[in-house]
Amino acid sequence: MKRALFETEHLLFRDAFRAFLKREVAPFYGQWEQDGIVPRDVWRKAGQQGFLGLGVPEEFDGNGVNDFRFNAVLVEELARNRFMGIGMPVHNDIVTPYLLRYTTPEQQRRWLPKIVSGEIVAAIAMTEPGAGSDLNGIRTTAMREGDHYILNGQKTFISNGILNDLVIVVAKTDLARAHQGISLLVVERGMEGYQRGRNLEKVGLHAQDTAELFFENVRVPVENLLGREGEGFIYLMHQLPQERLTIAVSAVAAAEAALEWTIAYCKERTAFGKPIADFQNTRFKLAEIKTELTIAQVFLDQCILAHNEGELTADEAAMAKWWTTELQKRVVDTCVQLHGGYGYMLEYPIAQAYLDARIQTIHGGTTEIMKEIIGRSLFKKP
């Protein structure tokens, strides 16, 4: 089915990004997976080619185009090629919107040009050892003392955790209040008391530097507060639908790639004197996958268009996130089965895809949390 979502400029952008990945990423990605981190010069090269800070206004060296379809193209290409270990979606789709919407003109002049150039690698720190989806449970504090906040606490599972030069930290600025006591502070590389912990060893996405972060009496200038004090929870709720949409885009693209690899394998692999593609069970399994992915893509494209119009709701984003990520898991698992023993060998991309897929139903909000969001929306008063 031909997708009507993209126009000529998006297709040209895709071609350019594909060429970038082929030239600057593909030959080296295996080594980066062994190293557990992506070199900083890749970020600067991506910035030079216009792949970072999507949507940043021209006055801050961006392209000035607020169109999530460009973000979707970038995520699709990373996912289809198994390059999601590069934390560009975190930088572009998750952090950059906060810096566009909740910053002062001075903050924008200070940070946005470097976000676009790749001089700054960005991250966001919400999760703590004892607090994940329940932000009320966070224990990181930021107490106001004159012109600074004194930041103390610990974060974990932070993508771009080692490389980041700028991290948005979710902290309690008023311990007496619940959601209304949460604020967002920008912590920058070199601030005294800000330390990176371990680059965590994960099941998949090995090239992604996912780390612990520690804050011990970090003096964060009041000028690094995002928006207004006490409104951090509201900002997070407004931005989470785009994060979940990004994850959904990656899920469908990765599953489509797994299907393509498996179709090719089934044509070549023989059993009992004929290609396994000739067995009815094989064709039925692949037919099921193709049908579900087609349906998922149609819904996802509708969500992208709604998001561009500012009309994507939190429950719709939750639907997209949980359905597509659970679908990705089922698809990749079936594709491993159709590969037989070779599907268990890490030299085959389907085995690597199996490892990378497992996080999808967890990060950005678990499947169970997504269902809770959807379920609550059914009982809202009109």
DSSP 28: T
Q: Active site residue: 33, 243, 256, 316, which one?
A: 243
pLDDT tens string 218-250: 999 999 999 999 999 999 999 999 999 999 999
Q: Is residue 380 pLDDT above 90, yes or no? A: no
pLDDT tens string 185-218: 999 999 999 999 999 999 999 999 999 999 999 9
Quick one: which of 186, 185, 127 has its CA closest to 154? 127
Asked: is 234-377 a CATH 1.20.140.10 domain? The reply is: yes
CATH architecture entry for 123-230: Beta Barrel (2.40)
SS3 of 215, please? strand
Write the burial class of residue 245 (CB in 10 Å: 0-12 exposed, 13-18 middle, 19+ buried): buried
Q: Which helix or strand (DSSP H or E) is residue 81 part of?
A: none
Q: Which residue has the tokens 């224990």?
A: 139
pLDDT tens string 272-309: 999 999 999 999 999 999 999 999 999 999 999 999 99
Gap between the Cα atoms of 301 and 291, Å rounded: 16
DSSP 92: I
pLDDT tens string 339-362: 999 999 999 999 999 999 999 999
pLDDT-based confidence at residue 176 (cuts at 50, 70, 90): confident
Using an 8 Å Cβ cutoff, are 322 and 328 in contact?
no
Q: Is residue 1 pLDDT above 70, yes or no? A: no
Distances in Å between the alpha carbon of 1 and those of 5, 252, 298? 12, 15, 10
List all residues 6 or more positions away from 306 whose beta carbon is below 8 Å from its beta carbon.
312, 316
Q: Is residue 318 pLDDT above 90, yes or no? A: yes
pLDDT tens string 71-122: 999 999 999 999 999 999 999 999 999 999 999 999 999 999 999 999 999 9
The mean pLDDT of 55-64, rounded to a whole number, is 94
> What is the pTM for the complete model shown?
0.96
What mean pLDDT value characterizes the chain?
96
pLDDT tens string 115-172: 999 999 999 999 999 877 677 789 999 999 999 999 999 999 999 999 999 999 999 9
pLDDT-based confidence at residue 33 (cuts at 50, 70, 90): very high
Using an 8 Å Cβ cutoff, are 117 and 48 in contact?
yes
End-to-end CA distance of the chain: 37
Token pair listed for 375: 């379920």
Q: Does 77 participate in catalysis according to the annotation? A: no
Using an 8 Å Cβ cutoff, are 123 and 168 in contact?
yes
Q: Where are the domains of the chain?
A: 8-120, 123-230, 234-377
Q: Which helix or strand (DSSP H or E) is residue 280 part of?
A: helix 280-308
What is the pLDDT at residue 8? 96
Phi-psi region of 153 (alpha: psi -120 to 50; beta: other; left: phi over 0): left
What is the pLDDT at residue 218? 98
Sequential DSSP letters for 239-266: HHHHHHHHHHHHHHHHHHHHHHHHHHHH
Gap between the Cα atoms of 48 and 89, Å rounded: 17
Q: What is the CATH T-level fold of the domain 8-120, as seen in this structure?
A: Butyryl-Coa Dehydrogenase, subunit A; domain 1 (1.10.540)
Widest distance between CA atoms in the chain: 79
Q: Is residue 381 pLDDT above 90, yes or no? A: no
SS3 of 3, please? coil
Gap between the Cα atoms of 256 and 240, Å rounded: 25
* Residue 116 amino acid letter: V
pLDDT tens string 246-280: 999 999 999 999 999 999 999 999 989 999 999 99
What is the pLDDT at residue 254? 98
